[in-house]
Structure 1
Amino acid sequence: MRPLTDTETKTLFTKLAHYTGSSLSSLLTPSTADSSDHHVFRIQNSRVYYVRSTLANLATSIARPNLLSLGTCVGKFTKTGKFRLHITALDVIAPHARYKVWVKANGEMPFLYGGHVVKAHVGRWSEDVPEHQGVVVLSMGDVPLDRG
């Protein structure tokens, strides 16, 4: 695992800022005064992982071909240099998401099977969501379902 380069970091943060807005800095800063609690982004085989810094430091003793993954996989870089978020990133970005849509129980399964969220299935949504903005879709019990 290695730290991200400047261009990779810019691409990653641009994509994450699309969903989190100004609360992007809270992903990296520790929530408490304990400095060992902060997280970092590391890359391994074009996949980006969100890892606690103490674990990332310990992983340097493992050879790169032997290390498969560590932490939460946020996404991957394509061959053209774009960044794609994975579904596993929901646990990381959902608490910090700026715009959210809550779906009623009767609309969860049609959405999870590939259908659209119709207006009758929307329980509530964040205020003033602009057009073409990244949102996180949650169930009424605040369980993240997908991002859109």
Structure 2
Amino acid sequence: MRPLTEEESKAVFEKLANYIGKNLIHLIDRKDEPYCFRLQKDRVYYVSESSMRLSISVGRTNLISLGTCFGKFSKSGKFKLHITALDYIAQYAKYKVWIKPNGEMPFLYGNHVVKAHVGRLTEDTPEHQGVVVFSMSDIPLGFGVTARSTIDSRKLDPTAIVVFHQADVGEYLRDEETLF
């Protein structure tokens, strides 16, 4: 595992800032112990510094994973968040969408969120902003990007897309072999 380069750090932090905004500082400066981002092959891991120090004793070729996988870099250099980062993103999310029970299964199968399935939406959510999708009982289901702002989404018909799907917890079953 190695530290991220400046370009890699910029790509990761820009993507995370789209979802959690200024709360990004809470990921790095934690009260319990310091955490950092490390790169292993093309995947970015969020790991405590104490665990990272312990991992030095394991050979690079033998180390498969350490900490929480936040995402991976594509061959073109773009960073894509994985669903494994949902627990951290949901804690610090700036904008949230709650979907009704009849909209949970379509979202968990990888479909976009339509207006008919939206239960609540954070006020003043701008267009093309990263949001965390919750069930009505406040269980994080995934994340996506808003198709319309809060004000514009009120005027839409029930079949219009409000949130574009990015990742959902159903990926643990659908894409099990590629997540880790």
Shorter-chain TM-score above 0.5: yes
Q: Which structure: greater helix fraction? A: 1
Aligned to 2:5: 5
Cα offsets for 1:71-122 (capped at 9, x unmatched):
1100001111110111111112111111110112121012112333222321
RMSD: 1.2
Shift of 1:38: 2.1
* 3-state SS of 1:123 partner: strand
Cα offsets for 1:11-54 (capped at 9, x unmatched):
11011101111111111111x3x4xx221111101100011111
| Uncovered stretches (5+) of structure 1, i.e. residues with no partner | none
**Residue 98 in 1 paired to residue 100 in 2?**
no
State the identity as a percent. 62
Instruction: Kindly tell me the number of residue pairs found equivalent between the two proteins.
Output: 144
Matching residue within 65, 68, 92 for 1:69: 65
Aligned to 1:142: 138
Matching residue within 99, 117, 124 for 2:120: 124
| In structure 1, distance between residues paired with 2:119 and 2:60 | 46
| In structure 2, distance between residues paired with 1:4 and 1:41 | 7
Shift of 1:66: 0.3
Aligned to 2:107: 111
* 3-state SS of 1:65 partner: coil
Matching residue within 30, 45, 49 for 2:45: 49
Amino acid at match of 1:2: R
- Which structure has more RCO (C-alpha within 8 Å, separation ≥ 6)? 1
Query: TM-score, normalized by length of structure 2?
Result: 0.76
| In structure 1, distance between residues paired with 2:129 and 2:54 | 38
Aligned to 2:162: none
Query: TM-score, normalized by length of structure 1?
Result: 0.92
| In structure 1, distance between residues paired with 2:68 and 2:7 | 21
* 3-state SS of 1:66 partner: coil
* 3-state SS of 1:55 partner: helix
